[in-house]
Amino acid sequence: MHQKALATHLQSRLIDQRSLIHDANPDISVIMPIYNAMPYLKDAVESVLRQEGVRLELICVDDGSTDGGAELLFSYLEHPNLRIVLQDNSGSPSAPRNRGLDIATGEFVYFLDADDMLYENALSKMLSEARKTGNDHVLGKIKGIGGRNAMPQIFRKTDSNAGLLSNYAWHNLAPTGKLIRKGLIDRLSLRFPEDQWVGEDQIFFGELYLNGSGISVLADQDYVGFRNRDDGENITSRKQTLLDKQKTLCRLSNVISKHCCEGRVRDQLAQRLFTSTMRGVFDGIYQVADEIEKAKFLKALHEQVAPLYGGAIESHVTKKIAIVMSLIKQGHFRETDDFIEWVDEVGMHYVMRGNRLVINAPGLTNLEPNSVDFEVPTEGILNPEQSDIEVRDGELTMAGTVSVPQVTSNPTGIDLILRERNTGEEVSLPAFTFSANKSENDLNIKVVFNVPPTTEIPVGAWGTFVRCTWGRSRVEARWGHRTAKVPNKKHYFEVAGSKPVVAYFNSGYENLTLDVGCTVHNETEVNQLKHLE
């Protein structure tokens, strides 16, 4: 059928269906924006039409597809629960989703992308949870297909009283897997911003989360398949411009600022701006923009995003982002541009200046002292690797290397830090020996640690860390991760007061832990190890 004739027929059919659906009082309106989603569209549509135990309407809004998708939809026209809208291409999912919202009549709304699919009884179980709890949001477990990230941290367990932050729901501001009470959307007169093709969902669902009442997380089964398309045409795979990022960053910042006063909760909400939404901005997107775009971007971030940046967030971001945001917050736009250009040319290279290890960025030396923290971060740059562990003459000895990229200054000290995993109490032991070799931009340190039998260590389970010191700058990393060079073997020795110690690699990450006083191992196992040593 010719596209124009098809459109006329479908719009006529839509009018016929409107009264039919209205009488049915659907529980859920499934809104499916469609643009060139073949061959996945068939699976998506049929996964909805197969849902049982729920009255639903499926609203398919074709956004000017050219791949025959509209003809496929036409083949389902006789299905009483299907409503179809054809429109010219808008360039983003926002317009078709908004068109679906305009005509939706369900008590709840579920957005399903045309390359995803629902699993058996997904909607009836989500509806039952919403009715039982009265929650405005129900999140069903997402299954990644083709390597797509399914955000497993959200779906560790079913929870009818999930926290926006504690259950990581705030980390998922995409439509996938969400049943939303339509009354909440109507009360807010909320729609997706149609001048955004990416990031528009963060604004929409950010508003919903901060205005809604109650979140349920269902983890008992897979509810929706989240597909990584074989053709690479997922909309999130398209390259973003600086203006795209500016819209998302500024608008989501404004949502957070509107609903949250300064404090811990606002900091936790804003953290995603700098760890997730900002990802990639200063690693290529900013660099290819023209000077006018850059100037507008920095000014917009200074006015709308930077007020949310503070010390509580700094420990969660990369050092590069921390410096860039500090400069932007203070209005140092030229210095920001100089710093990004410098890092692109030479990297995040650290040198000793006075008694601190700081980033070597000559263009920033004229700033007020302490206005920006250029000191090396306390975590994230050390790469320790164990090569040997043994007990010799009653003394635990550990050897290995520590590589430090982008640093060529020798450390003034290296220590083994024992940290009790429950109390955080520390015992510090200086390295028995260490020697550093410099390459062009890196430092490689050979180190040996000893834990003598005279060491005072209280009873407990103690994690092992390495701490390198450059003047007053201290950098730390977990020391004990087992490598292929080190057998997964337990060692017995004793420390001051004849306290028994078992050195072992814990499960999971296989980090070296010292069980002092045998709080983890039973007496029989300890005696066997003692005999072997």
Helical residues (DSSP H) of 25-172, grouped into ranges: 41-49, 69-74, 94-103, 122-133
User: Region 490-508: what's the mean pLDDT?
Assistant: 90
Contact 31, 41 (CB under 8 A): no
Enter the DSSP assignment of 379. B
Q: Which tokens belong to 32?
A: 């499916």
Q: What is the pLDDT of residue 412?
A: 93
Q: For residue 1, is pLDDT > 50?
A: no
Cα 184 from Cα 182, distance rounded (Å): 5
Lowest mean pLDDT among 7-11, 222-226, 398-402: 7-11
Q: For residue 229, is pLDDT > 90?
A: no
Contact 493, 394 (CB under 8 A): yes
Q: Which tokens belong to 256?
A: 């957070």
CATH 2.60.40 assigned to 383-532 = yes
Residue with tokens 């050219």: 66
Residues with Cβ within 8 Å of residue 376, at least 6 apart in sequence: 319, 350, 356, 357, 358, 359, 407, 470, 473, 475
Cα 367 from Cα 370, distance rounded (Å): 8
Contact 118, 112 (CB under 8 A): yes
Contact 90, 64 (CB under 8 A): yes
* Helices vs. strands in the chain: H and E counts, helices first: 14, 23
Determine how many CB atoms are found less than 10 A away from the CB of residue 89.
Answer: 14
Single-letter code of the amino acid located at 518: C
Pseudo-torsion of CA 242, 248, 250, 253, nearest 10°? -140
- Residue ranges matching CATH 2.60.40 in the chain: 383-532
Give the global pTM: 0.82
Q: Which CATH class is domain 3-237?
A: alpha beta
Among the listed residues 305, 322, 330, 419, the one whose alpha carbon sits nearest the alpha carbon of residue 376:
322
Q: For residue 2, is pLDDT > 50?
A: no
Q: What is the pLDDT of residue 237?
A: 56
Lowest mean pLDDT among 144-158, 214-228, 278-292, 407-421: 144-158
Q: What is the pLDDT of residue 376?
A: 87
Lowest mean pLDDT among 271-275, 424-428, 430-434, 476-480: 476-480
Enter the DSSP assignment of 375. B
Looking from the CA of 172 toward its CB, the CA atoms found within 13 Å total: 25
Q: Which tokens belong to 424?
A: 């955080």
